[in-house]
Amino acid sequence: MKLILLQITIVSLLPVFLSCSGSDSSKTGTSLKKGEYAFIISDSLGKTLADGIMKFDKITSDKSVSQFTHIVSGSYTVRRYVDDNDTNFIGISTLNGGALTAQYNEKNLTIFINTNPMIADANVFINATLNKADNSLSGVWNFSAFRNVRKNEGGIFAASRIK
Q: What is the pLDDT of residues 147-160, one digit of tens each?
A: 765 566 888 999 99
- Do 76 and 53 meet the contact criterion of CB atoms below 8 Å apart? yes
Q: How confident is the model at residue 111 (pLDDT cuts 50, 70, 90)?
A: very high
**What's the confidence (pLDDT) of residue 129?**
94
Burial 67-104, CB ≥16 within 10 A → b, else e: ebbbebebebebeebbeeeeeebbbbebbeeeebebeb
- Fold (topology level) of 36-161: Lipocalin (2.40.128)
pLDDT over 80 (residue 58):
yes
Averaged pLDDT, 99-105: 92
The better pLDDT of the pair 120, 141 is held by 141
Pairing of strands 110-114, 123-131: antiparallel
pLDDT over 60 (residue 60):
yes
Classify the C-alpha dihedral 77-34-129-24 as positive or negative.
negative
Predicted TM-score (pTM) of the model is 0.74
Q: What does the CA dihedral 117, 118, 121, 123 come to, rounded to 10 degrees?
A: -40
Averaged pLDDT, 93-115: 89
Distance between CA atoms of 55 and 35, rounded to whole angstroms?
5
Longest C-alpha distance within the chain, in Å? 88
Q: What does the CA dihedral 67, 73, 138, 49 come to, rounded to 10 degrees?
A: 160
**What's the confidence (pLDDT) of residue 57?**
93
